[in-house]
């Protein structure tokens, strides 16, 4: 049986670990709330933009608008945007994304990868650190995006991606990230970013209103599509950010629970050992006295 | 007449106003009560709102789009300075 001192030291160390994990859980919970607010604030903008876009594309037939983002060709040059987190300790959050990215590279786009026409853009340090060691072409990482997450910063990155698409550097861009469902569940998402699929008519019901369009419908659509792309990109990054904090909160909650269980077991062990030593000591005293008497 | 000014980061303003002047792509224009339905893209410039008491509020926006329908204005701005 382990001696008393050893057990005592272990109990103290587990206790301090529990303190750290429970503090991290609290921090993540607060950050999660803040990040969720951001998504809620984005929603009216995204919805309205989508509504206008759908309304416009319904009143225009497809051929009237030649959309630069809509070039559909068999993908030759592929860009995969991998969104992870900058910090660890959030369960399988990052490894899920990395695994999916690896799967996509080795299955879906193996030919392009072989020809060296596949590039990765990593947002988040964890994904960057992993893929840096692999033989993959990386674009300059965008890790600091997650430090100061605002629409302007994300839009700048989205613009870079869009302009390299229109310049013909890539003909297909996909996003891989964790979509937030709730604090405990993240949905791994692989989303097509470019080329744009034609706006689905969807279930959005639009009462036909006789709008005046200024300057004209095509111009407006041309201007709104990049906007809605930027929103899509921003939403992906934001979703991943919220999911990260959710994942970390759950992971830290479990760690705290485990630590509590461990402390209970160790305390039991400690008390047993303590009682055993006391019993031994009494036994020694008694037998010693017995020996003297005899 | 109700107006909402929304950016992707937050809702900038919501309330009742008398008129608003916006920097349209084809030139700046003013929206008063019972304006015909319009959708227009916006340039960088200032949005000048006049509220019920005649007080002016100015926002500088960086591009966007405006929708006016049945005395309800929705202004989606890329960002507001």
- How far is B61 from chain A, CA to nearest CA, in Å? 13
Query: Which residues make Cβ contacts (< 8 Å) with residue A29, sequence separation at least 6?
Result: A245, A249
Beta-sheet pairing, B56-61 with B45-50:
antiparallel
Give the chain A residue whose CA is nearest to the CA of B40: A214
Q: What is the pTM of this model?
A: 0.85
Task: List C-alpha distances in Å: B73 to A217, B7, B17, B24, B61.
Answer: 19, 14, 10, 14, 16
Which chain A residue shows the shortest CA-CA distance from B43? A223
**pLDDT tens track, chain A, 294 positions:** 568 899 999 999 999 999 999 999 999 999 999 999 888 889 889 888 888 887 777 766 554 555 667 766 678 889 999 999 999 999 999 999 999 999 999 999 988 888 888 999 999 999 999 999 988 888 888 888 888 888 889 999 999 999 998 888 888 999 999 999 888 899 999 988 888 876 555 555 556 667 888 888 888 888 888 888 999 999 999 999 999 999 999 999 999 999 999 999 999 999 999 999 999 999 999 999 999 987
CA–CA gap between residue A85 and residue A143 (Å, rounded): 8
Q: Which chain A residues are closer than 8 Å to B11 by Cβ? A: 41, 44
Q: How many CB pairs under 8 A join A and B?
A: 72
Q: Which of B3, B7, B8 to mutate to test the interface with A (most CBs of A within 10 A)?
A: B8
B73 forms beta bridges with: B3, B68
Q: How far is CA B55 from CA A116, B19, B48, B60, B75, in A?
A: 61, 11, 10, 17, 20
Q: Characterize the bridge pairing of strands A185-194 and A212-214.
A: unpaired
CB distance A77 to A170 below 8 Å: yes
């Amino acid at each position: 049986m382990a001696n008393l001192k050893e057990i005592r030291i272990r109990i103290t160390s587990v206790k301090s670990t529990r303190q750290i994990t429970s503090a991290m859980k609290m921090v993540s919970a607060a950050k999660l709330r803040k990040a969720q607010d951001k998504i809620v604030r984005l929603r009216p903008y995204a919805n309205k933009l989508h509504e206008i876009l759908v309304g416009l594309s319904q009143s225009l037939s497809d051929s009237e608008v030649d959309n630069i983002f809509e070039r559909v060709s068999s993908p030759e040059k592929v860009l995969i945007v991998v969104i992870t987190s900058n910090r660890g300790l959030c369960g399988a959050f990052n490894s899920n994304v990395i695994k999916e990215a690896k799967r996509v590279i080795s299955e879906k786009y193996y030919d392009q990868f072989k020809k060296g026409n596949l590039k990765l853009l990593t947002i988040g340090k964890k994904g960057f650190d992993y893929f840096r060691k692999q033989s993959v072409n990386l674009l300059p990482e965008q890790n600091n995006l997650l430090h100061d997450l605002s629409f302007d910063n994300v839009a700048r990155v989205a613009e870079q991606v869009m302009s390299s698409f229109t310049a013909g550097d890539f003909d297909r861009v996909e996003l891989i990230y964790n979509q937030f469902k709730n604090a405990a569940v993240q949905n791994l998402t692989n989303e097509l970013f470019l080329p744009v699929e034609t706006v689905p008519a969807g279930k959005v019901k639009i009462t036909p209103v006789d709008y005046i369009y200024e300057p004209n419908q095509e111009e407006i659509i041309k201007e709104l599509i990049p906007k809605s792309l930027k929103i899509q990109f921003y939403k992906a990054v934001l979703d991943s950010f919220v999911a990260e904090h959710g994942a970390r909160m759950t992971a830290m909650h479990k760690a705290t629970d485990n630590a509590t269980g461990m402390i209970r077991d160790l305390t039991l062990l400690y008390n047993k050992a303590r009682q055993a030593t006391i019993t031994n000591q009494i036994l020694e005293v008694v037998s010693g006295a017995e020996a003297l008497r005899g | 007449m109700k107006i909402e000014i929304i950016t992707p980061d937050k809702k900038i303003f919501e309330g009742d106003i008398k008129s608003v002047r916006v920097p349209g792509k084809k030139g700046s224009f003013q929206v008063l009560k019972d304006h015909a339905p319009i959708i227009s893209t916006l340039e960088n410039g200032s949005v000048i709102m006049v509220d019920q008491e005649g007080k002016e509020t100015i926002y500088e926006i960086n591009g966007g789009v405006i929708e006016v329908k049945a005395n309800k204005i929705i202004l989606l701005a890329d960002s507001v300075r």
